[in-house]
Amino acid sequence: MNLVAQIIGADGAMLDVDAGDKDAVLDRLAQLLARRSGVPEAQVRDGLASRERLGSTGLGHGVAIPHARMPQCAAVAGVLVRTRVPVAFDAPDGRPVSLFLALLVPKQATERHLKLLATAAAMFGDKPLREALRAAQDANEAARVLASWADGSAAQTPR
């Protein structure tokens, strides 16, 4: 199983989330990451927002990877969120975003953080994976799609 799928796990995906704008998405991601990490929601939100101020974490193709390194974080935490309606997120291709992989990593986890981001970028650069996540009927299916990705390709998962 790939590194991203290990972190998201079977219970780390949420589909068809209502969020009208970038701030609402960051609020929701912070809420979910706070539950998974034990870091207070306000601190997670500040960390995500600080990173976004450095430059958008939008990758293009309707995908963004909001993330933050925080000293309060004891272990890597992540969530996959698909919004009901795509949201403007300052992506380089100008397209709105509907797939969000949000990550929270310990401050000292620099090498692992970079490897995780590289894996995530490769995964979400894979068109079949993006399409499968957009077609997923529920969170369990989305988690299976993530887990199916290996060596640069998404395997088709049965429905």
Which residues are catalytically annotated? Answer: 67
The first and second tokens of residue 88, run together, are: 């403007």
Rounded to 5°, the CA angle 90-60-47 comes to 55
Burial class (CB in 10 A: 0-12, 13-18, 19+), 151: exposed
Nearest to 98 by CA among 18, 2, 11, 7: 18
Residue 20 to residue 88: CA distance in whole angstroms: 9
Q: Which two tokens stand for residue 56?
A: 């958008």
What is the distance in angstroms between the CA of the first residue and the CA of the last residue of the chain? 19
User: For residue 11, what are the β-bridge partners?
Assistant: none
